[in-house]
Amino acid sequence: MDPRFDVELVSVTKRYGQTVAVDDISLRIPRGTYCCLLGPSGCGKTTTLRMIAGHEAISDGDILIHGENVSDLTPIKRGTAMMFQSYALFPHMNCLDNVAFSLKMRGVAKKERHAKAREFLDLVHMGNYAERLPAQLSGGQQQRIALARALINKPHVLLLDEPLSALDPFLRTKVREELKRLQRELGITFIHVTHSQDEAMALADLMVVMEAGHIRQAAHPRDIFERPVSPFIAKFIGSHNVLHVDQGPIAVRADRCRLGSAEEGPHVRGEVIAVEYQGAMVRVALKTERGDEVSALVPDQLFYRKQAEPGEAATLVWAEEDIHALAEA
């Protein structure tokens, strides 16, 4: 077995009849990685997760976990555990029995499994809620129970299907921090499906951007943000302007752009179509003469020294060194 990787996907393909949901993807996830699968809806990220989990059969290719080919194994034998989008807590069992469920299935005696379940409830700070039913808990609390239930089997890999989408924005940031802390403490690999770039950027050691059943780029979020490979990636992760120049498409980060005049260097002319105050920054959106929509994230002080109004003509300028060439889409 290869000790370097927790999960390896080898030419994995999923077909539903004629449609190809996941097309020949390969990926290696190193030990103890927080990996985010990111992409627009329908890109195959959830299908990929479900194939790793063993809830979806693979049409072609292989999945290895800790070096072992698990393609035909049941979820429990793979050493994976999944946290479902809606948490899927059993509504007729209290939290303790929910968490102890897998031990019960293995025939562990009641006293022993309850003791173990309490241990995991404490791990997620839900020790005081053992007797509650899921319906009596808030979304965030339900999520912790689901987490404890998934972790009690000591999985090699925890799979999370859009775990934060059901939470309100404030809670989302908090739970995000907790997930990251937990992953670091447990030292196991988390694979987290999301459609939010913010979430992936904040959490991931390895960010995998998918589109139309393919992996378009897989790297550390910082590498992806600084060196997106294609116009799709640059647009999808946001805060990038994709422009078409003679040499081909280029990306320039919106926070490296400002409003100025043509003499200052590389630039594009356009008309201001929106001005959004965002606190520390002001986002000015322009439509270029070619029809591209671009924007500049301008520090508020700078913006209010020389304001722009929608409808005005303006020139977006940036420095030569901030240009990042993209592969043709």
Partner 1 sequence: MANDRISEKRPWTFYALAILFGAFLLFLYGPMLVIYLLSFQGENGGVTFPMTGFSLVWFGEVFQKGQMADLPVSFGRSMALASLVCTLTVVISVAAGLAFRRRFPGSGVLFYLAVASLVMPSLLVGFGIGLGFQFLGLETSLFTSALGAQLTWTLPFGLFAMFAVVNRFNRAWEEAATDLGASAWQRLRYVTLPILAPGIFGVAMGAFTLSYDEYARTTLTIGAKNTLPLEIYALISSATSPTLFAVGTMTTAISFTAILVTLLILGRMNRRRNLVKA
Positions in the binding site for partner 1 (CB under 8 A): 53-55, 74-76, 80-82, 84-86, 88-92, 101-102, 104-106, 133, 135-136, 149-150, 153
- What's the gap between Cα 200 and its chain centre? 4
Sign of dihedral through CA atoms 102, 122, 135, 47? negative
Interacting residues of 318 by C-beta distance below 8 A, sequence separation 6+: 252, 256, 257, 258, 265, 266, 267
> How many other C-beta atoms lie within 10 A of the C-beta of residue 258?
20
> What burial class does residue 179 get, using C-beta atoms within 10 Å of its C-beta: 0-12 exposed, 13-18 middle, 19+ buried?
buried
- Give whichever of 49 and 259 is closer to partner 1, judged by the CB atom: 49
Minimum CB separation of residue 92 from partner 1 in Å reads 5
Q: How far is Cα 221 from Cα 208, in angstroms, rounded to an integer?
A: 9
Q: How far is Cα 85 from Cα 161, in angstroms, rounded to an integer?
A: 5
- Give whichever of 157 and 298 is closer to partner 1, judged by the CB atom: 157
- Give whichever of 105 and 274 is closer to partner 1, judged by the CB atom: 105
Minimum CB separation of residue 115 from partner 1 in Å reads 18
Minimum CB separation of residue 152 from partner 1 in Å reads 8
Minimum CB separation of residue 108 from partner 1 in Å reads 11
Q: How far is Cα 35 from Cα 268, in angstroms, rounded to an integer?
A: 37
- Give whichever of 155 and 213 is closer to partner 1, judged by the CB atom: 155
Minimum CB separation of residue 77 from partner 1 in Å reads 9
- Give whichever of 94 and 197 is closer to partner 1, judged by the CB atom: 94
> How many other C-beta atoms lie within 10 A of the C-beta of residue 211?
19
Relative to beta strand 80-83, strand 157-161 is parallel
Q: How far is Cα 118 from Cα 130, in angstroms, rounded to an integer?
A: 7
- Give whichever of 137 and 254 is closer to partner 1, judged by the CB atom: 137
Sole residue written with tokens 């239930």: 149
- Give whichever of 85 and 239 is closer to partner 1, judged by the CB atom: 85
Minimum CB separation of residue 14 from partner 1 in Å reads 17
Minimum CB separation of residue 54 from partner 1 in Å reads 8
